[in-house]
Structure 1
């Protein structure tokens, strides 16, 4: 658009610069020749006519394209002659042409008024009298405003056409951007292969890429889910056979290994099942969910406290959110010894913080611990359980709800996990320190 507009502007400016002087006045040559010839003939006729009849004769000789009048010598005496504008010098020469009676300084031209195309002139006769004349529409001045208006109309038309063209070309690109933005999030929408040739090629390539990614994800999910599910049967047989062992220490060791393997299998299944979770989102009381999780953990002898309002509505998938905050509480208790849950509300977000007093994480690892199957060596060992999927599940589920998940080390020590969820327009109030009475109907 800007290139086209620049071209139009350049043409207009160039025309103004190169032709302004040459075409300041556009005069029809034939018209000038006729007016000059008539003026010369009228001057000869008036000069040959008696003085008493000249005024009547000039009225009879006047026409629509050249009106003349006669002025006696005493009528023009004492009037200073107005200098002829230099811009009319070319017109003067063209009017005089080859007519001897119009040659020399006997002819003076002047414009009638600014902005008109009429010319007023005086022709001095040999006896000292003068013929005044007016030639209407003899000038066609170069109107700058008319040129600007024409250029503005042309620029507007070019802008409209360019805008429509750019919009037509960009619509397929916007569709491609929307589809590319949803690749990998479970929304597989084929792109319409329309638009310019290059855009059609790109749409075809993105559709093929989507098919390949979808097949890869489906194959991976099915394979891992099948392996994880099939492991449950031999694990159950191992647990059963361990019960018949007489060596209590060996029995406890085997059962511990089986429990760890079952936890690993359960974590893998939970992570894989979340990708195709059919649970629909609905308004729930997040404060009640947090209070219930805190009470359940306290009933098991774990140091977990909830401090926040009694009610806070949010539209989420309830079971997924229970899994998210359950994972965060387990991490805080397992690696920090205790979990403190806080809930705060602002105009747009509900912010849940889960804090512990553990060793925290190295700054370089804060962005990596949400990677599936990733574990920080040293700070979080296999002895505490886990497969490196807890925070990956948290990050994925929060993102699916349109929220934000962040991890940071507390200045006083320990780790702070914060989940921000979009807030519903209408919010309920509450009181501090909700106990078991605040459990939601979801858990009942």
Structure 2
């Protein structure tokens, strides 16, 4: 339970957690220093100073009690003792009162110590005269009022120490946070470069920061370079394969065009046509438009134009378009992915509906049909290349090689997103959703 709460309240970012790791010990140390200073040093010094003043007051009161029968003589003797000590004394009836300001932390210690050390104490007023304490004391010659400077009862300006410690801790924390921010900046640059590459974009990146971050950055650049080289080599190889395969197919088409129209010839022409379609589909899947650069695109306008174009020859309707904004998209790849989903929807369902929604964090392209759909336990399986569910999807409307969903899933991954398969709520068929982060 505690671990779950800590995980929920912990900052999500590395910088936030580092800040917390830095500030929590500093705050705890400041709290401990403050408590120790107030309880042991500040209160202890205040008690010692008050006890010393209490002994001086006892001396003055002792002179009054010795000459108590002669009031004038008693007070003259008390004045002689009190004047060098800086304590004011005045005879007369004084109303006893004990009070202090609520924020006067040392006043509590002063009052408690005087009450403990002076038996004849009637009251201590720490508010009546600013900077002084008025003590009401009973003597053999009657009540007297003693006025003592607060500077003699407790240490003045104790907050200076706390302010100095607090300011130093704050200054060091700010310097440490700035330094930590500089150390985290290379990690953020690496994260942005890796995120962009995962979405199919290549942004400039140069390793920096601490040794470990530089090593991670260099490893990322090596990995990115190897992947780019593999993609380029695969594209070049497939271009050669495409050329080599297209040449005999072209010769076969030319030879068939010179032959008489017979049932066998027509069948061979259909086979050649199917082979060309299969070849195009395979090359499209293998190539994956890896060399296409993303560009700023309005997703809703893109879907609207694509749907209107496809609807000229297929049973396709435009669904709901929500939101607004632009995003970096690979237009050709995304067009191929949506066309494959639409073709599958029309082939196996008879009718397709295309919708799009642009949110703050994601873009969703949805293609739904009225067909039989795909069982939930087979939806991950059909995303693999060359997989066809003959028992689940009707093939009377056309043929395929099982790459339509694979191409769509690959395009979604190129954009850092996913292809999700589900069930259409109102049409009842398959719901294919390409979800791409913005």
Is TM > 0.5 for Structure 1 vs Structure 2? yes
1:322-401 matches, cutoff 5 A: 322-336=335-349, 338-343=350-355, 353-357=367-371, 359-376=372-389, 378-379=391-392, 384-397=398-411
CA distance in 2, matches of 1:245, 1:264: 24
Taking structure 2 as the reference length, the TM-score comes to 0.65
Within 2, Cα distance between the matches of 1:221 and 1:166? Answer: 43
Secondary structure in 1 matching 2:432: strand
Measured in 2, the distance between the counterparts of 1:70 and 1:296 equals: 113
User: Tell me, which stretches of 5 or more residues in structure 2 are unaligned?
Assistant: 1-22, 99-109
CA distance in 2, matches of 1:229, 1:381: 33
CA distance in 2, matches of 1:171, 1:360: 48
Partner of 1:238: 252
Listed one character per residue, the Cα deviations across residues 41-96 of structure 1 (whole Å, up to 9, x for unaligned) are x959x97xx9878878987987596144464xxx56x99999x965126766xxxx
Q: CA separation in 2, counterparts of 1:281 and 1:309?
A: 22
Name the CA distance, whole Å, in 1 between partners of 2:168 and 2:283.
Answer: 66
- Kindly indicate whether the alpha-carbon contact (under 8 Å) linking 2:357 and 2:364 is maintained by their aligned counterparts in 1: yes
Answer yes or no: is the 8 Å Cα contact 1:179–1:189 preserved in 2: yes
Indicate which of 288, 304, 317 corresponds to 1:306.
Answer: 317
Residue 233 of structure 1: how far off its partner (Å):
1.6
Which residue number in structure 2 is paired with residue 417 of structure 1?
432
Q: In the aligned structure 2, how far is the partner of 1:319 from the partner of 1:7?
A: 60
Check conservation: 1:410, 1:416, Cα contact below 8 A.
yes
- State the TM-score, normalizing by the size of structure 1: 0.65
- CA-atom RMSD, angstroms? 5.2
CA separation of 1:208/1:351 partners in 2, compared to 1, >3 Å: closer, same or farther?
closer
Say which is worse superposed, 394-403 or 134-143, in terms of deviation.
Answer: 394-403
Could you say if the C-alpha distance between residues 193 and 385 of structure 1 is closer, same or farther in structure 2, counting changes exceeding 3 Å? same
Give the length in aligned residue pairs. Answer: 391
Matching of residue 2 in structure 1 with residue 2 in structure 2: no
- Who is 1:101 aligned against? none
Comparing both structures, which one devotes a greater share of its residues to helix? 2
Larger radius of gyration: 1
Quick one: distance in 1 between partners of 2:356 and 2:218?
47
Asked if residue 293 in structure 1 is aligned to residue 310 in structure 2, the reply is yes
- 1:314-325 to 2 correspondence within 5 Å? 322-325=335-338
Measured in 2, the distance between the counterparts of 1:18 and 1:314 equals 64
Is it true that 1:408 corresponds to 2:422 in the alignment?
A: yes
Of 156, 177, 183, which aligns to 2:197?
183
Q: 8 Å contact 1:61–1:68 — kept in the other structure? A: no
Q: CA deviation at 1:138?
A: 1.0
Q: CA deviation at 1:199?
A: 2.4
